[in-house]
Structure 1
Amino acid sequence: MKSLGSIRRSFAPWADPAAVPYIAFEGVTKTFGAFAAVNNLSLTIYEREFFALLGASGCGKSTLLRMLAGFEEPTAGRILLEGEDLRGIPPYRRPVNMMFQSYALFPHMSVEANIAFGLRQDGMPKAAIAERVAEMLKLVKLEPFARRKPHQLSGGQRQRVALARSLAKRPKVLLLDEPLGALDKKLREETQFELMDLQQELGLTFVVVTHDQEEAMTMADRIAVMDRGEVIQVATPAEIYEAPSSRFVADFVGTVNMFEGTVAERSDAGVVIAEAGGMRLRAAEGGAAGPGDTVWFAIRPEKVRVSAARPPEAGNAVEGEVWDIAYLGDVTVYHIRLDDGRIVKATAINSRRVVEDALTWHDRAWVSFAADAGVVLTR
């Protein structure tokens, strides 16, 4: 049996020109009065993909999910599943199922009755229902809790019941709306990996809506970052983080330092940016930016080094004062205040058991980073 890592590493149908999308949003718009919740959006999702819609509240991600589920109809555009236009098909006739953030369990029913509810509504024979419920209980590891009511379960167990009920009808696509929002941090992290394993085991297409960047980065094969009803960038988690297409994506996903300036030179070695604070930054790649263009150099805190002395051959270095320090156990976060008042964030891995850092508050310190450690953005 292949490991999950082997499967995920080789899975990339979006890179195959011959691959046919499983789900397609074509110029979809959804308006509520004068407000456009989704604005002329086009997006493709592939079979067996774990796809995440990531964005802040009000960006349109849940509306998009509800249109795919059939709870809302597009004002304009088409939604296709396996090439079939879903317009006019009611939710209960679509080969999709939705797991809601609130779980929406029936409080008066046992775990097994909650899982069986949709099967009974479809008129499945009793013996087949019992067999399917037993299969779902085993799948989500809840066999000992079959007779309990929802109020007798923990938050994580209720989440598993809702998941089992969503999967019981064997949909082609499972839609998850903020599925882990009610769980505590540790349980949420554990459940993320369980969902990934389950998705691979079942061979289904999962579409998850979340505002949690870490959740999307952990679980998804690809992420669509949304803002104001539009998709800003669609890419793998690594591409979203390391090669954001805009300042919005760079700032929304993770933490970032942003230096604004003008391209002063361009050569085979990259670009030199005359930074607004007086620095001259060297970037190994300048993208499409040319001399005189306004650009932003974005660099993640873990790629910034902090030291008491200026490091030799740093590429880019600037001096400042240690303004804040946050010790998080595995890492230490430094906020270095430059002489012009700006703050640069740096993250250092605590690889040794040292109680006190060499650098402390109000020390003079250098922040430095390589020319290829960041990305040049033009918008």
Structure 2
Amino acid sequence: MATVQKSLGNIRRSFAPWADATQSPVIEFDRVTKRFGEFKAVDDLSLGIYRREFHALLGPSGCGKSTLLRMLGGFEEPSQGDVRLDGQSLIGIAPHRRPVNMMFQSYALFPHMDVAGNIAFGLKQDGMAKSERDDRVAEMLKLVKLDGFAARKPQQLSGGQQQRVALARSLAKRPKVLLLDEPLGALDKKLREETQFELMDLQQEMGLTFLIVTHDQEEAMTMADRISVMDQGRIVQVATPEIIYEAPATRYVADFIGSVNILAGTIESSTGGTTRIATTSGVTIEAETAGDLATGSEAFFAIRPEKMRLSRQKPADVSINALHGEIWDIAYLGDMTLFNVKLESGDIVRAATLNSVRGASEQIGYDEAVWLTFTPDSGIVLAG
């Protein structure tokens, strides 16, 4: 009788130890600073990561995310602060003596060894008996779906298969924490998307803590339980993917994650959870806010393209939050179409429509006059 594989969705949906005051992080970066000469790669950073969490460090090149990963792995030491695992400081402990393992972007497989030899390398270095090594290698090959590939050399494998061997080698020693440094960067888009879900399933099945470094927002949003968005050596927001996307804490986060329209202006009025913003584009926006904001202060309204409704005529039920312009650019992406709309002020705003019907007619075209409308709760007000 075939085994029915159960969905891990319920596990991931209910997993939120950071919201439980009785839970303590398994990984702690405590006011960590890392200097290279006069340059601060990491600047007085604190972060807690919980057991069995899939955590992503997300940011542009040079933001300090890989340096943070290397300090946890033991390849760099902090200039100041402490790094702790299970409450114990890791300062001064050699990489091979830490219960963590790192998987690099390059995979770093030994070309003269076969797949089995690559996976068993760390186990052999630790003095594990050959029979036990062989059993562990077989277990890892089955885990990454490479049964029958034990005798092949790395150059006989595809990029995706090499990535799986590197993953198996990283997991073979059963570390408490697996560190992944841009692990999927060398894969093509389709294989990368497939591997993301496989990594999520593996992480849950093995009960490990994963910490991944990536500059790919979609990758972080897909895999992570929480995301730390980094900028210039600091963390600017730590939250679940949904909160990061729907409620960014700053303009930087809003602009870095996905596509967004950010309209600048000043607060015209703010009371009772409703704020009116006079934008520099010449229109007034009404938005929902959690609290009152100071009249006359600078503010920004951030709204995602898919939250805007695009139409040739101004909807009869709309009295506020209506932008008028003309179609400037169109990008057909298959599942959706993106429209760049040039407003009367000259500003460009992007809207997205879902292509839910095959071969839909009456598609809006270039240079057409259009209206963009949205509800007060469609976007978020960010302070200047």
Q: Shift of the alpha carbon at 1:348?
A: 0.1
| Residue matched to 2:307 | 303
Question: How far apart are the structure 2 equivalents of 1:141 and 1:287?
Answer: 52
Equivalent residue number for residue 322 of structure 2: 317
SS at match of 2:148: helix
The answer to whether structure 1 residue 362 and structure 2 residue 367 are counterparts is: yes
Question: Given the alignment of the two structures, is residue 337 of structure 1 paired with residue 338 of structure 2, yes or no?
Answer: no
**Partners of 1:289 and 1:295 within 8 A in 2:** no
Equivalences for residues 4-19 of structure 1 within 5 A: 4-19=8-23
Matched position secondary structure for 2:40: strand
Q: Where does residue 328 of structure 1 map in the other structure?
A: 333
Q: Which residue of 1 aligns with 2:184?
A: 180
Residues 1:271 and 2:275 are matched in the alignment: yes
Q: Distance in 2 between matches of 1:336 and 1:183?
A: 34
User: SS of the counterpart of 1:166?
Assistant: helix
Amino acid at match of 1:156: G
Task: Report how many residues are paired.
Answer: 379
2: CA distance, partners of 1:3 / 1:138: 20
Match of residue 139, structure 2, among 135, 139, 145: 135
Which sits farther off after the overlay, 214-223 or 284-293? 284-293
SS at match of 1:74: coil
- Give the Cα–Cα distance (whole angstroms) in 1 for the partners of residues 20 and 292 of structure 2: 26
Is residue 228 of structure 2 the alignment partner of residue 224 of structure 1?
yes
Residue ranges of structure 2 left out of the alignment (5+ in a row) = none
Q: Which residue of 2 is the match for residue 47 of structure 1?
A: 51
Task: Among all aligned residue pairs of Structure 1 and Structure 2, give the percentage whose two residues are the same amino acid.
Answer: 64
Task: Kindly state the Cα deviation for residue 269 of structure 1 after the two structures are TM-superposed.
Answer: 4.6
> The residue matched to 2:325 in structure 1 has which SS?
strand
Whichever residue aligns with residue 132 of structure 1, its letter is R
Matched-pair contact (CA < 8 Å) for 2:58–2:214: yes
Aligned to 2:103: 99
Worse-matched range after superposition: 282-291 or 263-272: 282-291
- CA shift for structure 1 position 3: 2.3
What RMSD in Å do the two structures reach over aligned CA positions? 1.1
**3-state SS of 2:294 partner:** coil
What is the TM-score of this pair, normalised by structure 2?
0.97
Q: After TM superposition, give the deviation of residue 355 of structure 1 in Å.
A: 5.0
Residue in structure 2 matching 1:346, options 336, 340, 351: 351
**What do the CA deviations read for 1:122-146 (whole angstroms, capped 9, x no partner)?**
0100110000000000000111211
CA distance in 2, matches of 1:337, 1:223: 33
Q: Deviation digits for residues 193-245 of structure 1, max 9, x if unmatched?
A: 00000000000000000000000000000000001100010000000000000
Runs of 4+ in structure 1 over 2 Å off: 286-290, 312-315, 354-358
Determine the C-alpha separation between the residues in 2 that align with 1:46 and 1:288: 35
Q: Which residue of 2 aligns with 1:119?
A: 123
Corresponding residue number in structure 2 for 1:294: 298
Counterpart-to-counterpart distance in 1, 2:132 and 2:364: 66
- Gaps spanning 5+ residues in structure 1: where? none
- Contact 1:287–1:376 (8 Å) recurs in 2: no
State the alpha-carbon separation in 2 of the partners of residues 287 and 235 from structure 1. 21
Amino acid at match of 1:344: V
Q: Aligned pair 1:374/2:374, yes or no?
A: no
1:29 counterpart SS class: strand
Post-superposition shift, 1:147?
A: 0.5
**Per-residue displacement from partner, 1:309-366 (whole Å, max 9, x unpaired)?**
0012334101101111111111011111001111110000011122544311111100
1:243 to 2:247 alignment: yes
Q: Is the 8 A contact 2:282 2:345 kept in 1?
A: no
Letter in 1 for 2:137: V
1:210 matched to which residue of 2? 214
Q: CA deviation at 1:286?
A: 5.4
Q: What is the distance in 2 between the residues matched to 1:119 and 1:288? A: 60
Q: Which moved more, 1:279-288 or 1:129-138?
A: 279-288
The residue type paired with residue 371 of structure 2 is W
